[in-house]
A and B are shown apart, each in its own frame.
Chain A
Amino acid sequence: MIDSILANLDTALLYVFALSALVGAVLMLVLRHPMQVAMALISTMVSLGVIYGLLGVHFIAAFQVLIYVSAVMVFMVYVIMLLDTRDASFTHRFSLWVLPGVVFGVLLFAVLGYGVVLGVDYVANTPASFGLAQFAAAFLTEYWLQFELTSVLLLVAVVAALAVIKGSKGRQRG
């Protein structure tokens, strides 16, 4: 048994980390404190990074950890520490929409999963057939317009964030 597991170590690890990602996602729904939710989300993201590495797209795994875990989640953790989180949403963590929300989510998953199971049947342990060089060439030649548009998007995001802060300050003064 151990021999067969070692022979299919990649697939076994894939299952383990897929399960850990799902466990983290479920914990996000039930944990009370936002910091605990953030930790569950970080564990889910790191598990997804490991899955990307196992699939052979190592550069996406690296950026998953660098951008999501390092930048986005550190920002989120700072804000959680900045704000006092023990309010009404701490004592009553669920809204009135618990039952409809869960039913709708399960229905959505059932419909999507039905489509997937009927459609492509996917075997996960084939290595990626493109590397970083091929990806970079395609990114900057074939998809250069999208690449430039993301810089516009980032600029707009920075201006919008500044406008939100400035606008609220002006309203408070006036």
Chain B
Amino acid sequence: MLLLVAMALFALGLIGVIVRRNLLVMLMCMELMLNGVNLSLVTFAQQTGTTAGAVLVFLIFVVAAAEIAIAIPIVLVLVRQRRTLDADAYTDLHG
């Protein structure tokens, strides 16, 4: 059951990254994907009784903190240039 919930959270986060236009909402949906992965890791760790899954969860905490610490300045720089959070306003960024 919990594994299905974890996959649903991951899929919902992916849908959010694809369908929403707001940059901050897309970032939060990425956090939701990481949370889904965390739930599956905790479930596996608890099921098998090994510590590897719990260690990986802690590493994902650090990765999430680092991701948000880099992504927020990038969003701030983008907003300072174009004055909008709309992802469609930055289509000239793809090569």
- Which A residues fall within an 8 A CB radius of B? 14-15, 18, 21-22, 25-26, 28-29, 34, 37-38, 41, 44-45, 48, 51-52, 55-57, 60, 63-64, 67-68, 71-72, 75-76, 79-80, 83, 85, 87-90, 92-95, 97-98, 100-102, 104-106, 108-109, 112-113, 116-117, 120, 122, 124, 126, 128-130, 134-135, 138-139, 142-143, 146, 150, 153-154, 156-158, 160-161, 164-165, 168
Q: Do B35 and A48 touch across chains, with their CB atoms under 8 A apart?
A: yes
Question: Footprint of A on B, CB under 8 Å?
Answer: 1-5, 7-16, 18-25, 27-29, 31-32, 35, 38-39, 42-43, 45-47, 49-52, 54-55, 57-59, 61-66, 68-70, 72-77, 79-81, 83-89
Dominant secondary structure of chain B at its interface with chain A: helix
Q: A25-B8, A95-B21, A116-B3 are in contact. Are A101 and B72 (CB under 8 A)?
A: no
Q: How far is the CB of A107 from chain B (nearest CB, A)?
A: 9
Q: Are A95 and B66 within 8 A (Cβ)?
A: no
Give me the 7 closest cross-chain CB pairs, A-B, nearest first. A101-B18, A105-B15, A157-B66, A129-B49, A109-B11, A89-B86, A89-B21
30 A-B pairs whose Cβ atoms sit less than 8 Å apart in the complex: A18-B1, A22-B8, A28-B25, A28-B32, A34-B22, A44-B35, A45-B35, A55-B43, A55-B46, A60-B54, A60-B58, A80-B24, A87-B86, A88-B21, A88-B84, A88-B88, A89-B84, A101-B14, A101-B15, A105-B14, A108-B14, A117-B4, A124-B1, A124-B2, A135-B54, A138-B52, A153-B62, A154-B66, A161-B70, A168-B81
